[in-house]
Structure 1
């Protein structure tokens, strides 16, 4: 599905996550998207029949506004809320505006959770990566699916920041009630300039999919 997102053409492991959803949760399951941005993943999930909880703190991503594009040109970008109205998907999506890492963890459980390249942003470094992972895990009810794609270290400075991680390092967060279903990673690749990165740049990306046991131990 073309979403007209600012991030439409950035690389993603989202198809692997969708395959896990089709295999493991009901067709009308509830999926939480942490870092929903302007809807690159929210709209396809809602269009596929899922109920979506979209969690985002960026007012521009939610409501739209002027953005600086590569080449120093300005443009108006439509926000998630207007895009949902335009596509008539708003009834399937609950939008939660706020910082996912601030305050008490969200008091809800969903059938699945997903985040895309949110961990490495410097604004999220004031909380340990383990806390971010734990808060996401708490959203997943027994039998549900956890999915995250993330940036891996490329530059020397990345290796001193735990939020640039790897599938191997993440395994220690998925013990007990969890089983890791799939891990993948890319080699270094060049991504074209996009909003926030005005020049071509190099990335490595990883994916981890996990399932929560139907029988939980006491971990709260």
Structure 2
């Protein structure tokens, strides 16, 4: 790709999600990305041939503008819309410029859904984590895939906020017609400064992948890790 996301070098479990996606849904399936930002995950999905629903409320992420970068510098960042046009992918992506937690849940059934470290942001703490998860689950068709990577507690204050969760706690939301396929976690690691975090900082991250009423034989299902 000719453009790089401002988040290009941050750690992600997205390759695990993408591999499972390829195993379980059609090549032209519809995939929703909650917290699309400037397209770190949207562009690869569209390039791979998927139809993408990109949900993002931040105007800067969508339309671009001036941002602060590590090293006390400022630069113009290209937004998701211009990145899609530059890469010739604009027609494959449907943009929903709105707050995912505001108003009635979206009624746009998808074959898969993905979010990356979105619900730990303080702007989303005014609603329970269960509501965020439920709204994502409602978008997934039977047989579809749910994927979320998330921040786990590191500092003492994190343990007081349910949105810094763990695979064990999160999987309690996946009962009934949900089958948890894979959970992963990291140890504490230091991530280099990036937009939004202008100093080196410590993280722990988790992943949960789940399928809604899996249509594959049991032998193909992934085990927890």
Provide TM-score, normalisation by structure 1: 0.96
Matched, 1:62 2:86: no
Q: Stretches of 4+ moved more than 3 A in 1?
A: none
Paired with 1:168 and 1:62, the residues of 2 have a C-alpha distance of: 34
Closer/same/farther in 2, CA of residues 2 and 44 from structure 1, 3 Å limit: farther
- Determine the structure 2 residue equivalent to 1:100: 100
Q: Alpha-carbon deviations, 1:77-98, whole Å to 9, x = none?
A: 0000000000000010001001
Paired with 2:197 and 2:121, the residues of 1 have a C-alpha distance of: 13
- Determine the structure 1 residue equivalent to 2:219: none
Alpha-carbon contact 1:3-1:44 (below 8 Å) kept: no
> How do 1:2-81 and structure 2 match up within 5 A?
3-81=3-81
- Determine the structure 2 residue equivalent to 1:146: 146
Paired with 2:27 and 2:2, the residues of 1 have a C-alpha distance of: 21
Unaligned regions of 5+ residues in structure 2, if any? Answer: 216-225
Alpha-carbon contact 2:2-2:87 (below 8 Å) kept: no
Q: Alpha-carbon deviations, 1:23-48, whole Å to 9, x = none?
A: 00000000000000000000000000
Aligned length: 215
Matched, 1:193 2:193: yes
The Cα shift of 1:3 comes to 4.8
- Determine the structure 2 residue equivalent to 1:218: none
The Cα shift of 1:13 comes to 0.2
The Cα shift of 1:108 comes to 1.2
- Determine the structure 2 residue equivalent to 1:158: 158
Unaligned regions of 5+ residues in structure 1, if any? Answer: 216-220
Paired with 1:2 and 1:201, the residues of 2 have a C-alpha distance of: 29
- Determine the structure 1 residue equivalent to 2:207: 207
Paired with 2:46 and 2:148, the residues of 1 have a C-alpha distance of: 18
Paired with 2:124 and 2:47, the residues of 1 have a C-alpha distance of: 29
The Cα shift of 1:188 comes to 0.1
Alpha-carbon contact 2:179-2:214 (below 8 Å) kept: no
Secondary structure, aligned partner of 2:162: coil
Provide TM-score, normalisation by structure 2: 0.94
The Cα shift of 1:2 comes to 7.1
Secondary structure, aligned partner of 2:96: strand
Paired with 1:208 and 1:117, the residues of 2 have a C-alpha distance of: 12
